[in-house]
Amino acid sequence: MARLADDASVVQRILDHIDGRTTDLGDDTWREPVANYVSEERFAAERDLVLRHVPSAFCPSAVLPEPGSYVARDAAGTPIVAVRGSDGKVRAFRNACRHRGTQLVDGAGCEKAFVCRYHGWVYGLDGELRHVPHEEGFPGLDKATRGLVPIEAVETSGVVFLTQRAPYATGTALEELRDLPSPLIPAGERVVQSTERDVPANWKVLLEGFLEGYHIRSTHPQTFYPLQYDNLNVVERFGRHDRIAFPYRAIEKLRGAPPPERSADGKLTYVYHLFPNAIVATFPTNRVMVVLEPLAVDRTRFVTYGLTDRPDDPSGREAASRGRELVDSGAAEDNAVSLGVQRGLASGANEFLEFGRFESAIVHFHRELDAALEAGRAATRQR
């Protein structure tokens, strides 16, 4: 299991970088073909062989706080509902009635059972078909075999992961998630904001903007740069995933503190990239989880959950609100640049996009994505 450094070690690495005017560097560079961002065939392969096959973050556990709490949305093009059962366990199902295929629920809420709005078929929180109105009209119907179709769901480290298992899959999602630090989202966190918006850009273009600090000064001169450093990061890998530390200038206050007292709280942002398409980011007053759901080769649904550990504290809510405003302003700047990249893909100027040694988390992502695609293709050939 890959071990992430403790706060004191990360802080020391950052202070060393400040003194040396350096940053973490990758071992090599990467050239990603522009065709891989605009090809319909490539997009379909990413969706079918990776996004549906690899355990992918769906939502924070905190958005399912009690039995009957559910979240329903598409993941890799598939309508899915995740729900916390009466036994406290999170389960996930394909969001379709087994009678005529009607989608059962939308958005988020809390129900004691799922009742199809078309003909009233009733499903328990465990997915079992409980009731069929006028059941005599369906001779031979075996309710035990007509429950909702399950999706593999694993709840770990404060996050719910789903896997739409392909026939060639081996192992379990829990085994594949063994490298995750715990907890990514602490149990005391509560969801205070949830939004969805569609962005006309490839999902990888949007993801790449989270994974490096080389752009801080140029892209965020009035938002993040006054508080942070340009091109100064600590980058760590854990399995397919990465953690990137973005230090605040306030970290200088820790120079005289003994190592045990060098907490990262309020002194840096950790950005956890959960392969393939999710981000968890820590901020002084709140935490944000982002899921990038690809809708098309040039369109992505940006799903955001804002969390805080002080949801009932007025001062905490106010501080979290201010923090979200700053993050939202920075995100708008990132979004504008990503849309510029998307438009630039069509210019014909580049055969590939160049990622340097400052952008090692992006290099790691593309290497892992290529490996996952090749593993999926190889397994498909062997079927």
| pLDDT interval class at 179 (50, 70, 90) | confident
Q: Is it the case that residue 290 has pLDDT exceeding 50?
A: yes
Domain carrying residue 161:
56-176
pLDDT number for residue 321: 67
318: in domain: yes
192: in domain: yes
Question: b/e map of 38-77 (b: 16 or more CB within 10 Å)?
Answer: eeeebbebbbbbbbbbbbbbbbbbbbbeebbbbbbbebbe
Clarify whether residues 37 and 169 are in a common domain: no
Clarify whether residues 196 and 172 are in a common domain: no
Mean pLDDT of 332-357: 96
Q: State both tokens at 7.
A: 């706060």
Of the three residues 176, 195, 221, the one that is the final residue of a domain is 176
| pLDDT interval class at 83 (50, 70, 90) | very high
Clarify whether residues 146 and 92 are in a common domain: yes
Q: Is it the case that residue 380 has pLDDT exceeding 90?
A: no
Clarify whether residues 47 and 78 are in a common domain: no
Clarify whether residues 42 and 76 are in a common domain: no
1: in domain: no
Clarify whether residues 103 and 250 are in a common domain: no
Clarify whether residues 29 and 105 are in a common domain: no
pLDDT number for residue 323: 65
Cα–Cα distances in Å, from 153 out to 60, 74, 89, 99, 139? 13, 15, 10, 24, 33
Clarify whether residues 322 and 205 are in a common domain: yes
| pLDDT interval class at 168 (50, 70, 90) | very low
2: in domain: no
| pLDDT interval class at 370 (50, 70, 90) | very high
Polymer length of the chain: 383
| Residue 323 backbone phi and psi in degrees, to 5 | -60, -40
| pLDDT interval class at 331 (50, 70, 90) | confident
Clarify whether residues 245 and 168 are in a common domain: no
Clarify whether residues 197 and 266 are in a common domain: yes
Clarify whether residues 165 and 191 are in a common domain: no
Average pLDDT, the chain: 93
Q: Is it the case that residue 170 has pLDDT exceeding 50?
A: no
Closest C-alpha among 354, 42, 329, 360 to residue 203: 42
Q: Is it the case that residue 116 has pLDDT exceeding 80?
A: yes
Number of domains the chain contains: 2
Cα–Cα distances in Å, from 198 out to 202, 207, 293? 11, 14, 9
pLDDT number for residue 169: 45
Closest C-alpha among 74, 179, 163, 86 to residue 126: 86
Cα(176)–Cα(365) distance, rounded to whole angstroms?
16
The count of other CB atoms within 10 Å of the CB of residue 135 is 11
pLDDT number for residue 2: 64
